[in-house]
Amino acid sequence: MNAGTADTTILIPGRLHEYAIERIGAAFRVVRIEKADPALLSPDMIGQVRGIAAMTTISAAFIDALPQLEIIASFGVGYDAVDARHAGSKGVMVTNTPDVLTEEVADTALGLLINTVRELPRAEAWLRAGRWVSEGNYPLTRNTLRGRRAGIFGMGRIGLAIARRLEAFGLPVSYHNRRPVEGAAYPWHASLVELAASVDTLISVAPGGAATEKAVDRAVLEALGTDGVFINIGRGSTVDEDALAVALADGTIRAAGLDVFRDEPRVPANLLALDNASLLPHVGSASVHTRKAMAALVADNLDRWFAAGEALTPVPESAHVKRRPRS
Ligand code: 8YV
């Protein structure tokens, strides 16, 4: 155990990566509960929790219920499940796990794009079903990456890593963020509809939350057009899934590749029914290598916070938070 942290209580609500649990358990006193519900903690315990490590929803009410809480170390780069603004306003640090998953998620995005456009999962299913022998070659795909123009919604670290890969594939790239990204040498569009209208391949890496709720709607899909391909590797909440299912069914756009959904792990039946949708079960960062690096960063943030009073990867909403003297 680290000197001085063995009596520091870290709460782990719900499931968490085993390596994070192991690392945190080696340095701190760990309390585990089924979900982030204060009713599951004794009054004593409520007064002891100084840190949370989680990959689940952490609400404002839960933060308020824990008077000694100093830090929430969230697993994942997206932290829409944590009320980070509230935490920041209460002087509670929130950390996420950026950088260590960037290249993995970008790899997955390109895989999903190619699967969607060139129908590789369906071609493999053809082979496995014996149809290559019984019926002959898999039909030529109507879609190709050749000649496509890509637009990225959410040009952060992962967006840039996807853009680099798209460039290597020979596709011109442009993007939409609220503001142009300093140092990004790609054309910026002031609105998502404008971006969609100027490309035929829209890739969303946008984070979840109120600002992006159902941002990809009927109007965006119409602007993308009948050759349009939509890829989502960010968050399901950024898409109007019903509008997307209709757009895929009625030919408003050509195809979609989705790794994320609004109500995971439930995937809407109207998307499952479509053969021009390529669907993955949220595997963007899901390799042993990358998930272990994410778990390590959760533990490293807690270690650094309690040893030195600073976090390695604070989210912007809590970047101002300083460690308070203990009451
Ligand atoms: C993880 C993710 O699947 O990092 C993110 O934001 O969506 C994924 O890498 C997720 O965090 C696991 O809960």
Looking at the CA of residue 285, tell me the nearest atom of ligand 1: 9
Catalytic residues, by residue number, are 235, 264, 282
Q: Which residue has its alpha carbon closest to ligand 1 atom 6? A: 78
Query: Is residue 1, in this structure, part of any structural domain at all?
Result: no
Domain that holds residue 182: 102-279
- Note whether 135 and 270 are same-domain residues: yes
Residue 326 inside a domain? The answer is no
* Rounded distance from Cα 284 to ligand 1 centre (Å): 8
Whole-model pTM: value is 0.96
On whether both 72 and 34 belong to a single domain, the answer is yes
Dist. CA 247–CA 262, nearest whole Å: 17
Phi (first) and psi of residue 166, to 5 degrees: -60, -40
Structural domains in the chain (count): 2
Q: Indicate whether 134 and 250 sit together in one domain.
A: yes
255-258 and 277-279: which strand pairing? Answer: parallel
User: Cα(34) to centroid of ligand 1, in Å?
Assistant: 19
Give the pLDDT score at 4.
62
* Domain-located, residue 325: no
Q: Residue 16 C-alpha to ligand 1 middle, in angstroms? A: 11
Contacting residues for 144 by C-beta, under 8 A, at least 6 apart? 117, 118
Residue 83: CATH number of its domain: 3.40.50.720
Angle between helices 288-308 and 18-27 (to 10 degrees): 20
Give per-residue burial for 271-302: e unless 16+ CB within 10 Å, then b: beeeebbbbbebebbeeeebbebbbbbbbbbb
User: In this structure, are 188 and 311 located in the same domain?
Assistant: no
Residues 302 and 197 in one domain: no
Sheet containing strand 29-33, strands side by side: 29-33, 9-13, 49-54, 71-74, 93-95
- Asked if residue 137 and residue 76 are part of one domain, the reply reads no
Q: Tell me, what's the pLDDT at 325? A: 73
Q: What is the dihedral of CA 29, 34, 39, 43, to 10 degrees?
A: -10
Q: Which atom of ligand 1 is nearest to the CA of 290?
A: 9
**Which segments in the chain show pLDDT lower than 70?**
1-4, 326-327
